[in-house]
Amino acid sequence: ILNVEQSPQSLHVQEGDSTNFTCSFPSSNFYALHWYRWETAKSPEALFVMTLNGDEKKKGRISATLNTKEGYSYLYIKGSQPEDSATYLCASNTGNQFYFGTGTSLTVIP
């Protein structure tokens, strides 16, 4: 079992603010790190898949970085909008088993 931890547990920001949150995972036997966005009453949707140390991925105002040597990934949201309100999950795997963190719940206040 992998211990994947996310912080903070929840976050409230004003519209237009930029924000970031953290995912930490065991650095040994690393395969991949996933970020998912999970809106209320919907299913998680994949945002990023990262496999290499130093990877940086970007999708619109959302970006992510990966440090496999120290076992952490950051997710950044620039200029938060109300539609960014969701829970953001990260997951890492050991072989065929993916382990998820408990998520960061983001609320963007208009």
Partner 1 sequence: NAGVTQTPKFQVLKTGQSMTLQCAQDMNHEYMSWYRQDPGMGLRLIHYSVGAGITDQGEVPNGYNVSRSTTEDFPLRLLSAAPSQTSVYFCASSPVTGTGSYGYTFGSGTRLTVV
Interacting residues with partner 1 (CB under 8 A): 1, 31-32, 34, 36, 42-49, 51, 89, 91-93, 95-103
Q: How far is the CB of 17 from partner 1 (least distance, A)?
A: 26
Q: From residue 16, give the alpha-carbon distance in Å to each of 39, 86, 109.
A: 19, 16, 9
Nearest residue (CB) to partner 1, 80 versus 92: 92
CB 11 within 8 A of CB 104: yes
Q: How far is the CB of 87 from partner 1 (least distance, A)?
A: 10
Q: How far is the CB of 33 from partner 1 (least distance, A)?
A: 8
